Amino acid sequence: MAEVVLEIKNLTRRFGAFTAVDSLTLSVNAGEVFGLLGSNGAGKTTTIKMLTTLLPPTSGGARVAGFSITTQAVGVRRAIGYVPQAVSVDGSLTGYENLLIFAKLYDLPHREQQARIAEALEFMNLTADAKRLVAEYSGGMVRRLEIAQSTLHRPKVLFLDEPTVGLDPIARDAVWKHLVDMRANYGTTLFFTTHYLEEAESHCDRIAIMHLGKLDALGTCQELEASLGPGHTLNDVFVHYAGSALDTGNNFRAVSAERATAERLG
């Protein structure tokens, strides 16, 4: 039995009368690549915000690396890395400085900081650009720097909210190559949301499909495809579970933020 690194139990979040996440229960094993899929407004981002302690749940809870998100938030924060959907590195600092500040905030031992930063830059193929201002980086470089920044402290779980939104196919492949390498080298569990089914298909060990705040399907891509009968693709699975969703969730602010992110990265 593999070690469970993420255990979600009846996780629920309401905003007024609207239930964004409705009694979500699932667990993720250490070292797994886990994709959370669903149409806009399905509750994916709200789920990630609760798991990263940014948003308190209305009821239910979760344990991340053994720490409760409601009562041991600092423990959770030490154990995770988080790459938000929006651009989260600072354009007015260099790539190196963006990493240095996080090395310090996560209490990396002083004598290890430089080695870790150098390693992270090397790993993400950013060594040559370390001293340049991030404002001059391309979209793919920004995402790679963000991943380097969130994994400097070797988190057990890395949460990524639509990590490849707004990137061209080549940059997307590069980001995934680095993510897969990271899992191989450090055993990092990857928990991410995406709209791209082909990414889920080629990289995920298991996926979950959310629909209107509820978990509708959970399993490997093959299992889910087989569950609809022979000859079905992941696209059929997605349409089957989430296809009837009305586009209710995203408000103006969320949409403009997403477009702005895409623009900044692209």
Partner 1 sequence: MTATFIHPLTSFVEKTFVITEFELRKLRHDFTELVTRALQPALWLLIFGQVFARNGAMHTGNIPYLDFIAPGILAQSVLFVAIFYGINVIWERDLGIVQKFLASPTPRAALVLGKGFSAGIRTLSQGVIVYGLSLLLGVKLNWSPLALLNVLVIIILAATLFSTFSLVIACFVKTRERFMGVGQVLTMPLFFASNAIYPTDMMPGWLKMVSHLNPLTYVVDALRTCMLADSTSTFGLSFDYLVILVTTTVLVLVGARLYPRLAT
74 makes contact with partner 1 (CB under 8 A) = yes
CA–CA separation, 215 and 208 (whole Å): 7
Q: With CA atoms as reference, report the closest residue to 138 among 95, 182, 179.
A: 95
From the CB of 250, what's the least distance to partner 1, in Å?
Answer: 15
Q: Considering only residues 102, 123, 191, 192, which one is a binding residue for partner 1 as defined by CB under 8 A?
A: 102
> Counting contacts by CB under 8 A, is residue 112 touching partner 1?
yes
Please report whether residue 49 would count as binding partner 1 according to CB under 8 A: yes
What does the alpha-carbon distance between residue 36 and residue 190 come to, in Å, rounded to a whole number? 11
| Member of 24, 47, 82, 241 binding partner 1 (CB under 8 A) | 82
Site for partner 1 (CB under 8 A): which residue of 5, 24, 28, 89?
89
Q: CA–CA separation, 147 vs 254, rounded Å?
A: 22
**Shortest spacing between CB 237 and partner 1, in angstroms:** 30
- End-to-end, the C-alpha distance of the chain in Å comes to 42
Q: Where are the alpha helices (DSSP H) in the chain?
A: 44-51, 73-79, 95-105, 110-123, 139-151, 169-186, 197-203, 221-227, 234-242, 252-265
Candidates 80, 165, 175, 190; binder of partner 1 (CB under 8 A) is 80
Q: Which one of 31-39, 77-85, 124-132, 222-230 is the stretch in contact with partner 1 (CB under 8 A)?
A: 77-85
In sequence order, which residues have a C-beta less than 8 Å from that of residue 248 and are 6 or more positions away?
A: 40, 41
Neighbour count for residue 101 (Cβ, 10 Å) = 14
When asked if residue 16 is in the footprint of partner 1 (CB under 8 A), the reply is no
Q: Is 108 in the site for partner 1 (CB under 8 A)?
A: yes
Indicate whether 148 belongs to the interface with partner 1 (CB under 8 A).
no
Residue selected from 47, 150, 193, 194 as contacting partner 1 according to rule CB under 8 A: 150
Task: Tell me the C-alpha distance between 204 and 237, whole Å.
Answer: 15
The SS3 of residue 155 is coil
Applying CB under 8 A, the span of 146-154, 173-181, 189-197, 229-237 interacting with partner 1 comes to: 146-154
- Compute the distance between CA of residue 183 and CA of residue 205 in angstroms, rounded to an integer: 12
CA distance 83 to 239: 27
Q: Which of 101, 118, 197, 262 binds partner 1 (CB under 8 A)?
A: 101
Residue 183 lies near partner 1 (rule: CB under 8 A): no
Q: Please enumerate in sequence order all residues whose Cβ is within 8 A of that of 235, keeping only pairs 6 or more positions apart, or say none.
A: 197
137 binds partner 1 (CB under 8 A): no
- Contact between 33 and partner 1 by CB under 8 A: the answer reads no
Q: Is 6 in the site for partner 1 (CB under 8 A)?
A: no
Note whether 105 binds partner 1 by CB under 8 A: yes
Binding site for partner 1 (CB under 8 A): 49, 52-55, 74, 77-80, 82-90, 92-93, 97, 101-102, 104-109, 112, 133, 149-150, 153-156, 257, 260-261
